Structure 1
Amino acid sequence: MTADEHGPEDAAGEAAETGTDATEPAHEASEVDDGSIDALGVLGSEPRLEILLALGDRERAVRTNRYELTFSELYDAVDVASSSQFSYHLSQLVGPFVAETDDGYHLKYAGDKVVRAIRSGLYESTAAFEPVGIPGACVVCGATDLEALLRDERFVVRCRACEATLLSDSFPRSQADDRTPEAVVESFGYRIWSAYLLVRGGVCPECYGRVDYWVDCHDDGAQYTFAAMCAGCDCTIHLPIEVPALFHPTAIEYLWRHGIDLFDSPLWELFELVVSDEWTTTVASTDPLDATFRIAMDGEAVELAMDERFEVSPVDESLEADLADDDLADDVPVDDGVSESA
């Protein structure tokens, strides 16, 4: 998930505490340090992976995180020719992947991640996935003929009418295991929202580091995307600029009253709302950011604004009405109590 893109495929964000602005952060070349080389080199051994899996299997069996095994218990669980060889392999894991205590050994965070990656088949190719027709509308041409498919080991939502790619996301093999194509599509809907909820709090959905935000402009202002990039691992996510507004409590409650459950409505279904006459997005500026969003359904409207800090707030329409009344009052002649006589 180092470069996930939810939004137009040709596309290259919330709290002020993230220290962000509307421009894409500068990229620095990644460097490989000796610690990373040593740690990854440790994993190039079957007995060491077996030790990690043995610790993980025992945690799963007893349903206890950081469950500890003694040296003898761990040795008995791994197929190694001698205790001296086992001791050597275990010593290589202690530090980066395994913690040693007075009571035994348990997985550290990095070791747990390795175990989960092996179990889920992260390093294996994604299984076949047949295209599935899905509801929603194309943000490019407006057609309601979308499909989800597997392309180059990525989950893709495209428009059959104009062939535009509307969404692209990494597709791990585990997400297709024991799921029908329809269930796979549904799982991506929830996965995208879960990633956004983390990003909304300034948290990277991949490594949990801090994220920076900016807004990208596409097609000469025809489309805008809200982008978030992790300052640590560079995981990057692009979403329609309307998404932060959709997740404001005012919008969530408004949509609920009008029959739309945001959390159970995948992004591609909401495309249909965003391109309809019921939704209006106005971006006055991207640097600094100044955007407003208006939803009007069944004679009721709500308006929200997003500022340069990527914070969303409702526009006080009652205040606007008062200001409009004041403007009208300025145009009415004032009776100063002086009358003219013939």
Structure 2
Amino acid sequence: MDNPGSSDPRLDGDSERARSEAALAAVGDETRLRILQALHRARDTNRHPDVRPVPFTELRKRVGMQDGSQFNYHLKQLVGPFVQRTEDGYVLRRAGERIVTAVLAGEYADAVVYDAEPVPTPCAICGGDVVLDYNVEPFLDYLVVRCTNCEGVVSAPGRPPGMLSLTDAMPPVGMQTRDPVETYLATFSFIGNQFRTIVDGICPHCSGRLTAEPRVCEDHDPGDGTVCERCGTIFFVWYHHRCDVCGFSAMIFLDRHFVVHPTVAAFYHDHGYDPFGPEWLRVAAETIASQTVVTEDPFELEVHLAIDDDALTVTLDGNGDVLAVA
């Protein structure tokens, strides 16, 4: 991922590195991880929020540590960013909860491998067979959807041939109870919610502010169902989103920015299209009639949608925000 830096002076340079190093040091110890896990297990899941303060003595017993002074030392390293001290005991903060769930998910990181697993949805470009790869080098932890018959929608050095999408997969633990087809279908819901968050300018990893900029292929020529030799994709415009805090980076197809608009969503629904399901790429290929950059500064893009005798024109700005629908 690219690291765009930060617009917040509190997170720049030495201060940012010092805070990151301190946070990593705080959880980089087996005893401290056991403390976080003990607080996580002690939650009252019948309440919302599920906070249950754990007194010092009870927490030490849960962790299984006899030396009270040593235990107190490790606990103090967590108080603040990961653990909150209250009058009734200690509770796990959200950052501490994320550490625990990340550790739990990591235990299953290598448990699932998909190598050319077939799925029922045909390729939107050529109608060919589509397969899934997961935990296959060099894209470990990513779900690759690819066509076995054509170039797909992205062609670049190091990319799998026929690639239709490359996305963060569901956490591996979520794949344990699903077969490849179920995982494929569930991923659209999982990733779709992330797309909505990104389009709204919110980082799905840390909730920081996302900035976006359009990437335009000046001499775009995809031909008939093939990728453009200049940009390596079938898409004229992408939006590059970057987080000002954690450095999260994502390239998002332009259609993901307007399909969430109520008028556009209703337009697709009325014509029997589901832009959020497995056939989202077919929706884009069949309904985007043209894309025109109206002005470059400020950036303004018009996208013309056409289905049968009905049409819509969507206007987007440089952030990918919908300015107008007509």
Indicate whether the TM-score tops 0.5: yes
Report the Cα distance in structure 1 between the residues aligned to 2:111 and 2:167, rounded to whole angstroms. 13
Secondary structure, aligned partner of 2:203: coil
Q: Deviation at 1:232?
A: 1.0
Pairing 1:104–2:89 present: yes
- Check the 8 A contact 1:66/1:108 in 2, yes or no: no
* Matched residue, 1:271: 281
- Check the 8 A contact 1:199/1:211 in 2, yes or no: yes
* Matched residue, 1:85: 70
Deviation string 1:150-192 (CA, Å, 9 cap, x unpaired) is: 1332111122123232211233322322111112111221122
Deviation string 1:108-135 (CA, Å, 9 cap, x unpaired) is: 2221111111222278335212423342
- Check the 8 A contact 1:127/1:176 in 2, yes or no: yes
Pairing 1:235–2:248 present: yes
Report the Cα distance in structure 2 between the residues aligned to 1:183 and 1:275, rounded to whole angstroms. 25
* Matched residue, 2:268: 255
- Check the 8 A contact 2:60/2:66 in 1, yes or no: no
Greater C-alpha Rg: 1
TM-score (norm 1): 0.75
* Greater Cα shift, 87-96 or 199-208: 87-96
Aligned length: 288
Report the Cα distance in structure 2 between the residues aligned to 1:26 and 1:71, rounded to whole angstroms. 42
Q: Deviation at 1:214?
A: 1.1
Q: Deviation at 1:70?
A: 0.7
Pairing 1:208–2:216 present: no
Deviation string 1:305-341 (CA, Å, 9 cap, x unpaired) is: 223453324454xxxxxxxxxxxxxxxxxxxxxxxxx
TM-score (norm 2): 0.78
* Matched residue, 1:120: 105
Q: Deviation at 1:143?
A: 4.5
* Greater Cα shift, 305-314 or 250-259: 305-314
* Matched residue, 2:228: none
Pairing 1:56–2:40 present: yes
* Matched residue, 1:185: 184
* Matched residue, 1:339: none
Q: 1:287 aligns with which of 286, 296, 300?
A: 296
Q: Deviation at 1:71?
A: 0.9
| Sequence identity (%) | 26
Q: Deviation at 1:218?
A: 4.2
Unaligned runs of 5+ in 2: 7-11, 152-160, 222-234
Deviation string 1:196-229 (CA, Å, 9 cap, x unpaired) is: 2112221111110001111113483242212211
- Check the 8 A contact 2:105/2:173 in 1, yes or no: yes
Deviation string 1:240-294 (CA, Å, 9 cap, x unpaired) is: 112212222111101111112344x14xx12112223x43131225733332222
Q: Deviation at 1:239?
A: 1.8
> What amino acid is aligned across from residue 194 of structure 1 in structure 2?
N
- Check the 8 A contact 2:273/2:283 in 1, yes or no: no
Pairing 1:43–2:22 present: no
- Check the 8 A contact 2:315/2:323 in 1, yes or no: yes
Unaligned runs of 5+ in 1: 4-24, 317-342
* Matched residue, 2:121: 135
Residues 218 and 101 (structure 1), Cα distance of their counterparts in 2 relative to 1, 3 Å cut: same
Report the Cα distance in structure 2 between the residues aligned to 1:299 and 1:70, rounded to whole angstroms. 68
Pairing 1:156–2:165 present: no
Report the Cα distance in structure 1 between the residues aligned to 2:257 and 2:107, rounded to whole angstroms. 30
Q: Deviation at 1:137?
A: 3.5
> What amino acid is aligned across from residue 96 of structure 2 in structure 1?
G
Residues 142 and 225 (structure 1), Cα distance of their counterparts in 2 relative to 1, 3 Å cut: farther
Report the Cα distance in structure 1 between the residues aligned to 2:52 and 2:66, rounded to whole angstroms. 25
Report the Cα distance in structure 2 between the residues aligned to 1:41 and 1:26, rounded to whole angstroms. 24
Residues 286 and 66 (structure 1), Cα distance of their counterparts in 2 relative to 1, 3 Å cut: farther
> What amino acid is aligned across from residue 193 of structure 2 in structure 1?
S
Secondary structure, aligned partner of 1:292: strand
Q: Deviation at 1:65?
A: 2.8
Report the Cα distance in structure 2 between the residues aligned to 1:27 and 1:43, rounded to whole angstroms. 24
Deviation string 1:53-100 (CA, Å, 9 cap, x unpaired) is: 111111155544332111122122111132222222212222232111
Residues 67 and 248 (structure 1), Cα distance of their counterparts in 2 relative to 1, 3 Å cut: same
